Amino acid sequence: EIVLTQSPATLSLSPGERATLSCRASQSVSSSLAWYQQKPGQAPRLLIYDASNRATGIPARFSGSGSGTDFTLTIRSLEPEDFAVYYCQQRSNWQGFTFGPGTKVDIK
Amino acid sequence: QVQLQESGPGLVKPSQTLSLTCTVSGGSISSGGHYWSWIRQHPGKGLEWLAYIYYSGSTYYNPSLKSRLTISVDTSKNQFSLNLRSVTVADTAVYYCARTLVMVVGPIGDGWFDPWGQGTLVTVSS
């Protein structure tokens, strides 16, 4: 079973700062990792797929990197609307889809 | 663009069956290329994928919930549905439907969800 862990659980930053979120897989998933943003009361929104590809309409300040077991979501300069919870997600052929527990980015 | 909307009862009694429908607009389920999923989120918690289906009827379930789940598709109505049997209070959650990309890529696989419906809260209570 592939387990995803995310760190930190909470990241307290100010607008304009750089956010670096981590997702680690319990075994290699190659580049098969996606990132989502979820704001309170809203559905998650796809940000990044295949580790580093931005989804349609996602601003360039969001970037993803990594492969194998270690992945990073970077928000270059936080905008007020970026304070939210971020989830990583992976799919395997034998267990389906799994999500990480999430990282909350809140205002310092 | 494709939009999804969940519908169904907001309150279900313990031991009964939770039934939800997702209506797809702006695109046809039958056009192929995508699967269609249900995902849930317990209050204040993370995300849990439940099942996905292809327009042809091929299905795949979360192994931990497989015995209680049935996902189905109605291409004539451009809808897909979820039944969760024998519910308990632990099934109280926001249930989302989502268009799903599924790829068999080497030994691992790949896929993601985009877009999502707005979600519907289902409370299990007597």
Do B49 and A92 lie within an 8 Å CB cutoff?
no
Residue of A nearest to B94 (CA): A43
Strands (E), chain B: 3-7, 11-12, 18-25, 35-41, 47-53, 59-61, 69-74, 79-84, 93-103, 110-116, 120-124
A80 phi and psi angles, rounded to 5 deg: -55, -35
Amino acid B103: pLDDT: 86
A76-92: per-residue pLDDT in tens?
A: 999 999 999 999 999 98
Taking the CA atoms of chain A, what radius of gyration do you get in angstroms?
A: 13
In the beta sheet, which residues pair with residue B67? none
Residue of B nearest to A100 (CA): B46
Answer for the pair A25, A90: CB distance below 8 angstroms, yes or no: yes
Amino acid A108: pLDDT: 92
Amino acid B104: pLDDT: 80
A28-53: per-residue pLDDT in tens?
A: 999 999 999 999 999 999 999 999 99
Residues of A in contact with B102 (CB under 8 A): 91
How far apart are the two ends of chain A, measured CA to CA in Å?
36
pLDDT band at A94 (very low <50, low <70, confident <90, very high): confident
Interface of B with A (CB under 8 A): 37, 39, 46-49, 52, 60-63, 96, 101-102, 104-119
B5-63: per-residue pLDDT in tens?
A: 999 999 999 999 999 999 999 999 999 899 999 999 999 999 999 999 999 999 999 99
Residue of A nearest to B107 (CA): A93
Amino acid B107: pLDDT: 73
Q: What percent of chain B has pLDDT over 90?
A: 92
